[in-house]
Amino acid sequence: MSQSKNIKKRLELGKLKLATLLEVTKAINNNLAKEELLELYKTVLLDDLKIGKILLYSFDKVEWSKELCIGTDCNEINVKNDLVDIKEIELLSNNINDKLKPFDVIVPVFHKSEPLAYLLLGDFDGEKIEVSPIIKHLSFIQTLTNIIIVAVENKRLYKENLDRIVIQKEMELASEMQMMLFPKNLPNNDEIEVSASYNPHHLVGGDYYDFIVLNRDEIAFCIADVSGKGVPAALLMSNFQASLRSLIKRTSSLSELVIELNKNILANANREKFITAFIGKYNIQTRNLQYINAGHNPPLLLVGHQFKSLFDGCTVLGVFENLPSVTEKNMTIPRDSILACYTDGVVEQPNAKNEEFGMKNLETSLLLNKEESTKDIIQSITQELNSYKKEIEYKDDIALMCLKIK
């Protein structure tokens, strides 16, 4: 009779476990929230299996979180110090760690070699003679725990992926918005021909170029670079562009313009970022170029086969409350000259040997293609840069602007 009861009891318990696994699977398929899955898991351990002490930790790739704590002190154990070395199910009867003594067993959950969770279990009454329910049901508990933890991890990964998609969409929109800031129609006429290109290191970046028609005879142009990369640099650069376009027709000189721009950058960036910029004004009738180089890579003026670097100006913008000195340079540009403006991402791009592209390669490319259109000159420089770096990724944003004075 006793044996018959035991068989019946085992059959009922087997049916309960099977029903539990089916219920958990159904809950997962119905996309129950993490909290609901853990509540179902807790009910099975407490009510069905009569486990007295439950402590469950899970890892979200950043930190360990306490998911369940029942019947025990929840603040004693430090996962990194006390548990991460445990790779297999461990009975704790002889464990020397006092923090683990309230428990009878540890069940680790791993994905490949990475720990996902640790389950610590203990009985209500360790003095009872009967076999611990933990030992009787250990295999089932391990299976159930694995199912629940993997489901929770999959939910986290799914949400993470959705968040990543949202961020990607927002970045793509930001990139489209940033590209709208660049001038669409650059001149190509009997007096001047202009082309430009921009390749951000990320979807958005801090390099910038602009071309502004001031009046019938004068044009203004700028190339600039914000320290840093990504969204913060792009935001500051958009503010710089708005300030430049607002001020350039209202200020009496380039010196006054850069002083005002410096104030605006200080107000917006609070000395946490700075901007290098080259700003020029060119009179088509007199062929006079007026410029200030605010700490930017010096543009190259190619006349015949000779290069001149345009250094004169001031220090970078956004560092000093009062610019130490500002030099406004004027020069006459001979016909058939080429002015090449660029950001540091061009000349500082390394190859596989960590050697920078450098000024010499840039000058060589300009000389070899000086008879070509400005668009083709920029395309040739870009191709040379790609051939130089080969499989190495771009390390910075890249902007190029080329002006041909006819």
Q: For the chain, what are the domain ranges? A: 2-160, 181-405
Measured on CA atoms in the order 7, 13, 14, 15, is the torsion positive or negative? positive
Using CA atoms, how far residue 101 sits from 66, 110, 174, 319, 340, in Å, is 19, 23, 55, 60, 73
Per-residue pLDDT tens over the stretch 90-116: 887 766 778 888 888 999 999 888 899
Q: How many residues does the chain have?
A: 406
pTM of the full structure:
0.68
| DSSP summary character for residue 60 | -
Name the range with the highest mean pLDDT among 46-60, 166-180, 287-301: 287-301
Q: Is the pLDDT of residue 128 over 70?
A: no
Query: Cβ(155)–Cβ(34) under 8 Å?
Result: yes
Amino acid (1-letter code) at residue 151: A
Q: What is the DSSP string of 5-45?
A: HHHHHHHHHHHHHHHHHHHHHHHHHTT--HHHHHHHHHHII
| DSSP code string of 262-295 | HHHHHHHHTTS--EEEEEEEEETTTTEEEEEEEB
pLDDT by residue (tens digit) across 137-163? 888 888 888 998 988 888 888 888 888
The CATH architecture one would assign to domain 181-405 is: 4-Layer Sandwich (3.60)
Distance between CA 300 and CA 306 in Å, rounded? 10
280 near 257, Cβ under 8 Å? Answer: no
CATH 3.10.180.10 fits 2-160, yes or no: no
The SS3 assignment for 72 reads coil
Helix, strand or coil, per DSSP, at residue 89: coil
pLDDT digits (tens, 9 = 90+) for 367-398: 999 999 999 999 999 999 999 999 998 888 99
* Average pLDDT along the chain: 88
